[in-house]
Structure 1
Amino acid sequence: MIRVVVAEDQWAVRSGLVMILDSAPDVEVVAEAADGEEAVAAARRLRPDVVLMDVRMPRRDGISATRELTGMGVDVLILTTFDLDEYVFGALRAGAAGFLLKDIEADDLVAAVRVVARGEGMIAPAVTRRLIREFAGAGRPPGRFGSGGPAAWTAPGAAALAQLTPREREVLGCVGEGLSNQQIARRLGITETTAKTHVSRILAKLDLRSRVQAAIIAQELDGSV
């Protein structure tokens, strides 16, 4: 079973999310949280596979909570209306494993939780396009995520990208297309375990905290990977 904590301050929305997730045969909601403080406390106590996290909540917001949760090794799936403000960029820097829009269909929500539980990234296509556009508009080259939104985007330098092997560059390109480890393995003729290992090495070499960050970089490079 995939064990999930749902963090959302609006009771009606939270109840709907819980109902959708609990209807899946392989997903169990082990706790509900009305703010980031409750989410972190529940995760410390229950060690869930995934925390489904709202961004704007009272007492403690989802970004601060995400930073602590990823530091604990818990995967966080952000649920947002996506205004492309500092909260969303903060979640990206904090290492969130995925971003979903609140108008997501029920089946897609369950599928996203499964993807993140497998250790892969999940980002809504509309979110990806807007993120890329925002970073491109900041006039910055692809690189590490600083502390102040797109304007804080700093280049890793040619040396960092040069660390990638030809195979890792291929894998990075696949990540940018949103392919899962299984799909990468099938395309490149390697095992799924090998694909996962390549992704981990890419994150380490480029000093990234999540697969989503790698996808952003890959799409910014767009063909030069």
Structure 2
Amino acid sequence: MKILWVDDHEILCVALSEYVQTHASELGATPIEVTPVFTLASALEEVTKAPPPDLVFLDLTLDGDNRGATTLERFQAGNSSNVPVVICTGLGLGNDHDIEILRMCMRDYAARGILLKGGAHKKMFIGLSRILGGELWIPEEVLLRFTCSAQAPSASPNQRHLGLSPREWDLARCIARGLSGKQIARELNVSEGHVRQVSCVIYDKLQVRNRVEAALRVNAELALGREAADKGLS
């Protein structure tokens, strides 16, 4: 697997690149060849080479005017081979503006996942493993912030969201908050087995493969509900 790692913090970029190569067998993808680059221009040059990399890790704060979602927008404009891009960022989760940047990257510019530079080492390792295994990965704390900034009322008995029943929708919203199966079971007062069973039904109805993809669909629906509510009040 060929990986392009893009970050203008050169020492960090090289260190992360070497870490991924060294721990390739533990991450479940071997062999791995990582190329570190430090500017957006260099990244665009690398992604147009034949053959292109299989995966790109892109920092959102690069040289010049390349900041936030603009960085990913410009990269994707030159990404003619549609190489999957994962955001690797130090953006803070306490800032609503930064959360909206991450949401835009996922929703508007087809990012395939998010890694937090300042996150726990174990979580980042898990995220890397999942991403290298072909999964879409977003840390639970980011999913929770997505949900908090896009809350919508609970479904009424006769209301359906995304084709889900009200009970399925309640569970889907728990998934979107990043809750574990045990936490969902406790909150909804059901068994963990029931949570697993209904989760499978939800994935099937939403035509998604896992919890992260389901959470993204639900968060998008919540955002639409919030926009509709705002228009109704205006």
Which bracket does the TM-score occupy, shorter chain normalised?
Answer: 0.5 to 0.7
Per-residue deviation, 1:116: 2.6
What's the CA shift for 1:8? 0.7
CA drift of 1:17 comes to: 1.0
Separation in 1 of the partners of 2:205 and 2:81?
22
**Which amino acid in structure 1 is aligned with residue 217 of structure 2?**
A
| Residue pair 1:75, 1:97 contacting (<8 A) in 2 also | yes
Cα distance in structure 2, aligned partners of 1:160 and 1:63: 32
Gap change, CA 1:103 and 1:215, over 3 Å in 2:
farther
Q: Which residue of 2 aligns with 1:63?
A: 69
* Paired position in structure 2 for 1:114: 129
Would the alpha carbon gap of residues 164 and 124 (structure 1) be closer, same or farther in structure 2, given more than 3 Å must change?
A: closer
Q: CA deviation at 1:20?
A: 1.7
Three-state SS of the structure 2 residue aligned to 1:56 is coil
Pairwise CA distance, 1:89: 2.0
Shift of 1:179: 6.3
Percentage of identical aligned residues: 14
State the SS of the aligned residue for 2:92: coil
What amino acid sits opposite 2:216 in the alignment? Q
1:91 counterpart = 2:106: no
Q: How far off its partner does 1:7 sit?
A: 1.1
- Taking the aligned partners of 2:53 and 2:45, their CA distance within structure 1 comes to 11
Give deviations 1:143-166, integer Å, cap 9, x for gaps: xxxxxxxxxxxxxxx998254467
Q: Offset of 1:11 from its aligned partner?
A: 0.7
5 Å-filtered alignment, 1:75-154, equals 75-82=85-92, 84=95, 86=97, 88-95=99-106, 96-117=111-132, 118-125=134-141, 127-133=142-148, 135=149, 141=152
Q: What CA distance in whole angstroms lies between the structure 2 residues aligned with 1:179 and 1:6?
A: 31
| 1:10-59 deviation digits (Å, cap 9, x = unpaired) | 11111221122112222624322213333344334354443222111114
Other-structure match for 2:187: none
Give the whole-Å Cα distance in 2 for the aligned partners of 1:179 and 1:93: 25
CA contact (8 A) 1:173 1:218 kept: no
- Contact 2:8/2:39 (CA < 8 Å) preserved in 1? yes
Q: Does 1:33 align with 2:37?
A: yes
Structure 2: tracts of 5 or more residues without a match = 182-191, 226-234
Are the counterparts in 2 of residues 172 and 199 from structure 1 also a CA contact under 8 Å? no
Check the 8 A contact 1:98/1:212 in 2, yes or no. no
CA distance in 2, matches of 1:42, 1:74: 14
CA RMSD of aligned residues (A): 4.5
Q: What is the alpha-carbon distance in structure 2 between the residues aligned to residue 44 and residue 124 of structure 1?
A: 33
Match of 2:57 in 1: 52
Q: What amino acid maps onto 1:10 in structure 2?
A: H
3-state SS in 2 of match to 1:14: helix
Distance 1:33 1:132, change over 3 A: same
Query: What is the identity, as a one-letter code, of the residue corresponding to 1:30?
Result: V
Match of 2:188 in 1: none
> Which residue pairs with 1:177 in the alignment?
178
Letter in 2 for 1:82: G
Residues 108, 48 of structure 1: alpha-carbon distance in 2 compared, 3 angstrom cutoff: farther
- How far is 1:112 from its partner? 0.8
Unaligned runs of 5+ in 1: 143-157, 203-209
- Rg bigger for which structure? 2
Structure 2 SS opposite 1:161? coil
| TM-score, length-scaled by structure 2 | 0.57
Partner of 1:155: none
TM-score of the aligned structures, taking structure 1 as reference length: 0.58
Match among 36, 46, 57 for residue 42 of structure 1: 46
